[in-house]
Amino acid sequence: MGSNNDISLKALAKINLGLDVVRRREDGYHEVRMIMQTIHLYDRLDIKRTKEPGIQIQTNLSFLPVNENNLIYKAAKLLMDEFSITDGVSVKLDKRIPVAAGMAGGSTDAAAMLIGVNRLFSLGLTKRQLMERGVDVPYCIMRGTALAEGIGEALSPLPPMVKCPVLIAKPSISVSTKFVYQNLKLDDTTIHPDIDRLIDDIKAKNLHDIAAHMGNVLETVTIPNYPVIDEIKKHMLSNGAVGAMMSGSGPTVFGLFDDEDTAKKAYKAMRSSHLARQVYLTSVYNNRK
């Protein structure tokens, strides 16, 4: 954990086991029903308390902002302003979660930063109080398996997802979340995933049923525009995944496996296929035993 003046935290990524867009609201926001799942792929934040005021960020990726445009910076500033903290913090971010990939990488880093500042400066905020202080951050503080509704802000914990290997593959393309939502057509022909059925499968801990009933309505936009997403899905399935799907608004694809050996072979096959720029083999994370 480090001393009282420094702390090392893991910021865990998420995938969506189900993502449905119910409707577009008058204000332009989309109403969703999503099942979120934390996985063991993570960024690491080494946070130090400094006598020198201000927020210093170092990162292993040169293209990430290290100023107020970084969500870590915003999260730290939020608490430091609120509690009139005069000391500073320095953060070393080792980023492994693919960026702009539908995996909540920025939000999970911000969540870890809130937790870190809370501990380093002994602010005494509860998990619930920290969740109230960030946009997109609450789920990353909560972790585990959860249903998100409304515009994503209404969270209900679900029973833990069955543990299994998860293969992650991000192609070298970037997909704009805004583009995906703007081009999403919701009409009578839209095939919506059955989120309630998926929740029942999760409760029953039946991996094959979960895989069969996973669905992401945003694939109707991304796959026609970015066929590589479908190629990656097919590659995972032909290499033994029980299910494969795009996470969030993409372009990351994940595959669920029912045994470690098959998952390891699929990982090697995916790496040598050159379909994806970043490939990771990880597993489902449960915060409740």
Catalytic positions, please? 14, 136
**Pairing verdict, β 154-157 and 145-149:** antiparallel
